Every structure is written in structure tokens, then in C-alpha cells.
Amino acid sequence: MALEARLDCSLLVMKSELDHVKQQIAALQQEQHRLHQLTFEAQVSLTQLSKEQTTSQQWESLEWVKQREQQYTDTQSQLLAALERRFELADEIAKAA
């Protein structure tokens, strides 16, 4: 009888420990799920950041191209004005001669 009581007590302790281990496993599984979710969210954020950075770099490149185009247009206008002035001066010289 005493042996049977000890076995019952040991069995209850083991069941309690088993329940505790199961709870710990469930908690670890929840934590694992949460970490997977956070990892996924971080990857999405990094991807978005990378896209935004690329977009930002593209805009900077586009702005650079626009500035260069404006400089080219300005220089071209100045050269055209100088060429027109040259022809005007050439006409004045021809008329004066």
C-alpha cells in the first residue's frame, strides 16, 4: 500500500512536471512564431527601405540629368546668341565697307 501511494505521488509529480514542460514548449512555440513574424516584418521593412532608397537614388539621378540638360540648354542658347551677334556684326562690317 505504501509503495502504491508513493507511485501515485510520483506519478502526480511527473504529470505536473510534464504539464509544466508542455506549457514551456507552448510558450517557446509562441515565441518562435512571434520571432518568425518579426523577422518577416523586418525583411518587408528592409525591402521597402531598399526600394525607397533606390527610388531616392533614381530621383537624385533624374534631378542630376535635368540639371545637366538645363545647363546644356543654357549653354546652347548662349552660343546661339553669340553666333547671331557674330552674324549681325559681320553684316554691319559688310555694310560699313
Residue 42 CA to residue 29 CA, distance in Å, equals 20
User: Would you place residue 54 in the very low, low, confident or very high pLDDT band (cuts 50, 70, 90)?
Assistant: confident
Residue 46 CA to residue 26 CA, distance in Å, equals 30
User: Would you place residue 75 in the very low, low, confident or very high pLDDT band (cuts 50, 70, 90)?
Assistant: very high
User: Would you place residue 56 in the very low, low, confident or very high pLDDT band (cuts 50, 70, 90)?
Assistant: confident
Q: What is the pLDDT at residue 10?
A: 78
Average pLDDT of the chain, as a whole number: 87
Checking if the pLDDT of 5 tops 80, the result is: no
Distance of CA 63 to the CA centre of its chain: 21
pLDDT tens-digit readout, 15-53: 888 888 899 999 999 999 999 999 999 888 888 888 888
* pTM recorded for the entire structure: 0.49
